[in-house]
Amino acid sequence: MIDNIIHAAIVMTTPLLLAAIGGLVNRVGGLVNIGLDAMMLAGALAGLIVASQSGSWLAALIAAGLIGALIGLMMSLTVTRLEANEIIVGLGFNVAIAGLVRFFLKSAYGSSGTLNLPDVARLPHFDIPVIADIPILGALVSGHDPLTWAAWLMVPATAWFLARTRTGLRLRAAGAGPQAARALGLNPLTLRDASTVFAGFMAGLAGAYLSIGVVGIFNEGITAGRGFIALAAFYFGRNRPWPTALCALLFGLFDAFQIRLQGRGVPAELVQTLPYVMVILVLTVMALAVRRKRAKGT
């Protein structure tokens, strides 16, 4: 049983981690991306359609990432060039994309919310010989798909990028002090746009993971607010990749628990709130810790 829970936790962590890493880079660049859920939703739909028509899961991931990146670019330009409020723009994109997806499903497929296509190319899973038979360790590292491995490899890669590369340092400068960055000859708006495109690409991959990696179909509620949980993850991690990854893993674990509890006869309406209740509790504890630290400082 413990192996099943661990394996399910890793699976449910993957989309959260992908979106959270993208949102973290975007936040470091100076933009709080409230539209991650919309990018995930569009990526999930695009990924399923391309996986069905092309028979290639790789093509599906690329398509999902690109549609997410496009939405990210449009959102970023609205904020950086038109100077719109980033929170309002993000919420607006969430509502608009959800409406467009619903309209597309009805007009193109005659569906009222769920899309089940034939011959969908699912993400492959790889078992590691010998290790797969070891309790706990096998569940942690074996039987997973390439996108899960890529998500976890992105954690040290992002930490290195932000701390060791010239572009990463410029991105941090643009987010921390746009005027000072501009005085140094940098273009903070372009850097912010690039970070939002990256966040959209990662969120698109996260959405595709849900549709072709987990369930094999598309539903209007497939993201289930996971874009907002990813937002909480990088806030809890304070824009640091490793704490963000651990927070995503924690939320993924609770997500796996609620799925397991549904199978034990506990009312689904109640247990489905577990991950979101934990988000509220974690953010509350973090806020109290920050307040206590400030109080000691004074």
pLDDT of residue 14: 96
pLDDT bin (cut points 50, 70, 90) of residue 263 is low
Q: Where are the beta strands (DSSP E) in the chain?
A: 114-115, 218-219
Are the CB atoms for 67 and 46 separated by under 8 Å?
yes
Q: Enter the DSSP assignment of 133.
A: G
Residue 115: helix, strand or coil by DSSP?
Answer: strand
Contact 261, 5 (CB under 8 A): no
Contact 252, 9 (CB under 8 A): yes
- 23-37, 63-77, 86-100, 175-189: range with lowest mean pLDDT: 175-189
pLDDT of residue 28: 95
Q: Which two tokens stand for residue 135?
A: 């309790």
Task: Write down the residue that tokens 């009222």 correspond to.
Answer: 112
SS3 content of the chain, % helix, strand, coil (to 5): 75, 0, 20
Three-state DSSP class for residue 135? coil
Q: Which tokens go with 247?
A: 């927070």
Consecutive H or E run containing 277: helix 274-297
Q: Which residues contact 261 (CB under 8 A, 6 or more apart)?
A: 271, 274
In the chain, the amino acid numbered 92 is: G
Q: What does the alpha-carbon distance between residue 12 and residue 7 come to, in Å, rounded to a whole number?
A: 9
pLDDT at 103: 94
- Is the pLDDT higher at 136 or at 264? 136
Q: What pLDDT does 25 receive?
A: 96
Q: Which residue has the higher pLDDT, 177 or 210?
A: 210
The residues spanned by each domain of the chain are 2-116+138-227
Q: Say which amino acid occupies 262.
A: Q
- Using pLDDT thresholds of 50, 70 and 90, give the confidence band for residue 132: confident
**C-alpha 189: how far from its chain's center?**
23
Q: What is the mean pLDDT of the chain?
A: 89
